[in-house]
Amino acid sequence: MKKKDFRKFLSENIVALDGAFGTMLQRKAGNVGILPEKLNLEQPELIAEIHREYAAAGADVITANTFGANAAKAGALSDELIRAAVKIAKNAAPDRYIALDIGPTGRLAEPAGDMSFDEAYDIFAAAVKAGEDADVILIETMSDMTELRAALLAARENSDKPVLATMTFMNDCRTFTGVSAECFALVASPLADAVGVNCSLGPKELLPIVERLATMTDKPLIVQPNAGLPDSHGSFPVGAEEFAEYAGRFLDLGVRIIGGCCGTTPEHIALTAALAHSRRPAPSRYVPRAAVCSATRTVFIDGVRVIGERINPTGKKAMKAALIAGDWAYAARQAVEQTEAGADILDVNAGLPDIDEPAVLTELVRRIQRVTDLPLQIDTSDPTAAERALRAYNGKAIINSVNGEERSLDAVLPLAAKYGAAVVGLTIDEHGVPQTAEERIAIAEKIITRAAAYGIPEHDIYIDCLTLTVGAQQEQAMRTLDAIRTIKSRHNVRTVLGVSNVSFGLPARRIVNSAFLTAAMWAGLDLPILNPNLPENMQAIAAFNVLTCRDKGCAEYTRRYTDADLSITESRKSTTTAADGANDLRALVIKGLPTADETNRLLEAGTPPLDVVNGMLIPALTEIGDAYEAGKAFLPQLLASADSAKESFTVLRQYMPAGGENKGIIVLATVKGDVHDIGKNIAGTVLENYGYRVIDLGKNVPPEDVAAAVKKYNARLCGLSALMTTTVPNMAETIALLRRECPECKIMVGGAVLTEEYAASIGADFYCKDALSDVRIASIVLR
């Protein structure tokens, strides 16, 4: 029989996949050793026999024995094993579709692990190329979003074959790394031809997960359950009849591709395939909904959702300085603060002149997604920067923005379509900012039409009707609201608006901002971009949700504001006043108590910032440091004081000339292969408190990156950490490279396995035995 194109076959039929391969191998060959794919070369007839049994059972798709044949697991043999497997399968079942099976690498990807997106991509791309003779690509048993995305993009960009993608979930509807069914559907659907679940659970346990998935994806659903949960001897309890019964229930849910995973056999597949072939496809249960997500959290845009505006250097001196200096910790802190203040989505912008925007924006996205599970809005006018950031982002992002100019439409919409991102449509074009609501509507509709041509649905377009400044064009505020009302009445788009620009140049801006925000929500604004740390913004939204019955029974409002003292939420002034003058801050630091209020009080009372540093903070840190060294204070006390001093420094920095307290630059990194960086983080906090500028490169840092940073910042001291005996060689390698490339830089090292002697033997200048050693060393080197 001549095979149809697989996509056409899938559009007309329910497709039967084959069942477990490992189970069959064990049945036939017993213990199969480290790499079962080696049998593709050693015993091809055995592999062919299993394929023939599944073909005889009625499977439409035969999965080649390539699950673990990627380069991460099979090394240099990978290519040969994959080619052999596809050939065996084609010969054994010439009239069936042959699937190239792509399983996980076995390594854990960033941010949790040490494999970068690019490494994963290269591994999968090589497998896709080696398997070019297959008809279908089956990406399966994934549990990590980075790895899944790398595999999907590698398949899409190196092949035109249909791509089926499944993840493996636990009972709580999440994968091991926390990916939910909803996040998976949002991220994978735009990149795959079919999405679904396999492995880990039996059919009964998978039913509720498939139910959730079914409403979330517009793509055909695929399910490959295990034959139940294995007992302690490794046998699977669900027999062929029971399995097929559940298969029927999956087909009722609209599942279009069905097969088996661990523990299933040709007997299971025979009954299941017969059932699949006797049934007509049930209609899809997909419910189109506006939503974005990170790897672990989905935000539905079915009410007002707050986009936090703080990670943007425009008009924000401290953020600008942090981006130029590579101070990622500052941006991370903004991310955590906005998350805790109740933002739903975070805008991320690195637009500065004279900055490598694609590189900085991408790094910013990587750093921020480590500390928040909120979805991100990638804010740039540079399409190259947007694409690089979209590749790095582990979820469904919003691109901010496209506008009505041809150049913008042609550059941005294909990116939104390819990565499945939502997109902000800015209602300006080559003629500039339109003065009437009608003109804005016209541009919005142009964007909507052009997006539709790329397959971007209306609910993924967020129209920005522009906030102008009432100080300059007073009547424009009402035009903006008119435009919002009209566009919402005509289209299923969402609307977005940067709110605070409205009051530019006016006194007491918050009063006007808050009123405009309220009016805009009543006009139909879904996504205000604002500062969630300002209470009146969140209060206006809470009130709106009460008045529009979104906050059912006023429950959320009551929870949040029952005990709220509105007299202090206006500005976060301290209610605790210092009893008596100068030594209080010092006492607060020694006790490890909050210091921001007292620091502000001192500054408002006219105390020069440097007096606060030299007269209070440094003496306090010295006192607690001495006590720690003498064994009179313990690590928790030292850290509490360090945090407390850092809080005060954060306030002081705004009042001090840039670089005023800078005693020298220190580059810190946890070496390549090592992801345990708690000691390095503590060192960073302590060093900053003593006035050093710390460039923290993070963990798992390649030697070249350390050398590059030392050169870039002309650092005279570099600190390296390693936890394991097995990563110390990478530390030695980093030191050797620094010696060659930056001979003037001194090196200090620390970590659980190091000793004074060990540190000397790998060529370090200094050994850090505890949390204060680095300060002593810095004071010698950077004197």
Which residue, 190 or 750, is less far from another protein as judged by CB?
750
The correct pick among 285, 320, 560, 646 for binding another protein (CB under 8 A) is 646
* Binding residue (CB under 8 A) for another protein from 1, 8, 31, 630: 31
The answer to whether residue 257 forms part of the interface with another protein (CB under 8 A) is no
Angle, vertex CA 635, rays to CA 634 and CA 636, nearest 5: 95
Binding another protein (rule: CB under 8 A), the pick from 55, 186, 335, 762 is 335
Q: Quote the least distance from Cβ 341 to another protein, whole Å.
A: 12
Of 353 and 636, which has the nearer Cβ to another protein?
Answer: 636
77 makes contact with another protein (CB under 8 A): no
For position 107 contacting another protein by CB under 8 A, the verdict is yes
Return the SS3 of 478.
helix
Assess contact for 178 and 184: CB atoms under 8 A: no
Question: Which of the stretches 201-209, 307-315, 471-479, 721-729 binds another protein when contact is defined by CB under 8 A?
Answer: 721-729
Distance CA 462, CA 498 (A): 12
Q: Using DSSP, state whether 180 is helix, strand or coil.
A: strand
Residue among 180, 545, 730, 734 that touches another protein (CB under 8 A): 730
Tokens read off for 55: 């073909």
Look-up: residue for tokens 């009016």?
Answer: 519
Determine the Cα–Cα distance for residues 518 and 543; give it in Å rounded to an integer.
9
User: Does residue number 168 form part of the binding site for another protein (CB under 8 A)?
Assistant: yes
Q: Where are the beta strands (DSSP E) in 622-702?
A: 665-670, 693-696
Choices 46-54, 348-356, 438-446, 668-676 (CB under 8 A): range interacting with another protein: 668-676
Residue 634 tokens, joined: 């313990």
Binding-site member from 36, 383, 673, 750 for another protein (CB under 8 A): 673
Nearer to another protein, 202 or 254 (CB): 202
Identify the sign of the CA torsion 148, 380, 217, 417.
negative
**Using CB under 8 A, which of 62, 222, 461, 682 touches another protein?**
682
Check: CB of residue 717 under 8 Å from CB of residue 776: no
CB 596, min distance to another protein, A: 11
178 binds another protein (CB under 8 A): yes
Count of CA atoms in the C-beta half-sphere (13 A) of 732: 13
C-beta closer to another protein: residue 209 or 301 = 209
Residue 9: other Cβ atoms inside 10 A: 16
Q: Applying CB under 8 A, does 176 fall inside the site for another protein? A: yes
**Best CA proximity match to 601, nearest among 651, 532, 559, 564:** 651
- Retrieve residue 390's tokens: 């979209």
* 596 near another protein (CB under 8 A): no
Query: According to the binding rule CB under 8 A, does residue 116 interact with another protein?
Result: no
d(CA 424, CA 428): 12
Which one of 394-402, 429-437, 471-479, 720-728 is the stretch in contact with another protein (CB under 8 A)? Answer: 720-728
CB nearer another protein, residue 545 or residue 595: 595
Determine which residue in the list 13, 685, 741, 776 makes contact with another protein, applying CB under 8 A: 685
Binds another protein (CB under 8 A): choice among 242, 267, 584, 643: 643
Q: Looking at 80, 114, 133, 705, which residue binds another protein (CB under 8 A)? A: 114
**Which listed range, 27-35, 53-61, 155-163, 492-500, lies at the site for another protein (CB under 8 A)?**
27-35
DSSP 615: I
Please state, in angstroms and rounded to a whole number, the distance separating the CA atoms of residues 716 and 697.
16
Report the residue number, 335 or 477, with the smaller CB distance to another protein. 335
Segments of 465-599 assigned E as strands: 494-498, 527-530
* Binding region for another protein (CB under 8 A) out of 93-101, 516-524, 536-544, 673-681: 673-681
Is residue 513 close enough to count as binding another protein by CB under 8 A?
no
Q: 427 or 730, CB closer to another protein?
A: 730
> Per CB under 8 A, which of residues 740..769 are in contact with another protein?
752-755
Q: Is position 199 an interface residue for another protein (rule: CB under 8 A)?
A: yes
The interface region with another protein, picked from 464-472, 542-550, 560-568, 681-689 by CB under 8 A, is 681-689
Nearest approach, Cβ of residue 337 and another protein (Å): 7
CA atoms of 640 and 589, how far apart (whole Å): 8
Q: How far is the CB of 372 from another protein (least distance, A)?
A: 8
User: Is 650 one of the binding residues for another protein (CB under 8 A)?
Assistant: yes
Least CB distance from residue 515 to another protein, whole Å?
Answer: 32
267 touches another protein by CB under 8 A: no
The contacts of residue 263 (CB under 8 Å, 6+ apart) are 20, 23, 226, 227, 228, 230, 235, 236, 238
Taking the C-alpha atoms of residue 527 and residue 497, their distance in angstroms, rounded to an integer, is 6
Nearer to another protein, 439 or 774 (CB): 774
CB 144 within 8 A of CB 108: yes
**What region, left, alpha or beta, does residue 136 occupy, with left being phi > 0 and alpha being psi -120 to 50 degrees?**
beta
List of E strands, 235-375: 255-258, 291-293, 298-300, 307-311, 345-349
Closest CA to 302 of 136, 492, 565: 492
Contact 635, 683 (CB under 8 A): no
Are 543 and 549 contacting, i.e. CB atoms less than 8 angstroms apart?
Answer: no
Q: How many CB atoms lie within 10 A of CB 70?
A: 26
Does position 627 interact with another protein (CB under 8 A)? The reply is no
CB 240 within 8 A of CB 268: yes
- Segment near another protein (CB under 8 A); pick from 13-21, 152-160, 303-311, 670-678: 670-678
The verdict on 576 binding another protein (CB under 8 A) reads no
Yes or no: say if 352 and 317 are a contact pair by the CB < 8 Å rule. Answer: no
Beta strands in 168-227 (DSSP E): 194-198, 221-224
Distance CA 139, CA 158 (A): 14
Residues 292 to 321: which contact another protein by CB under 8 A? none
**Of residues 355-374, which lie at the interface with another protein (CB under 8 A)?**
370-373
- Distance separating alpha carbons of residues 512 and 510, to the nearest angstrom: 6
- Of the listed pieces 212-220, 270-278, 443-451, 636-644, which binds another protein according to CB under 8 A? 636-644
Query: Binding to another protein by residue 724, rule CB under 8 A?
Result: yes
Backbone angles phi, psi at 195, to 5 degrees: -130, 155
3-state SS, 437-473, equals HHHHHHHHHHHHHHHHHCCCCHHHEEEECCCCCCCCC
Confirm if 227 and 246 have CB atoms less than 8 A apart.
Answer: no
Q: Tell whether residue 600 is a contact of another protein (CB under 8 A).
A: no
State in angstroms the smallest separation of the CB of 728 from another protein: 9
Question: In this complex, which beta carbon is closest to another protein, that of residue 40 or of residue 143?
Answer: 143
Choose the stretch contacting another protein; rule: CB under 8 A; options: 75-83, 112-120, 459-467, 571-579.
112-120
Question: Beta strands 97-102 and 61-63: pairing type?
Answer: parallel
Residue window 375-404: x/- pattern of binding to another protein, with contact defined by CB under 8 A? ------------------------------
With CB under 8 A as the rule, give the number of residues binding another protein: 63
Upstream peptide bond of 111 is cis (omega within 30 degrees of 0): yes
Per the CB < 8 A criterion, the answer to whether 313 and 352 are in contact is: yes
Cβ 682 to another protein shortest distance, Å: 6
Q: Does 235 bind another protein (CB under 8 A)?
A: no
Residues of this chain that bind another protein (CB under 8 A): 31, 33-34, 104, 106-108, 112-114, 141, 143, 168, 170, 172, 175-178, 199-200, 232, 329, 332-333, 335-337, 340, 370-373, 592, 634-637, 639-640, 642-643, 646-647, 650, 673-676, 678, 681-682, 685, 723-727, 730, 752-755
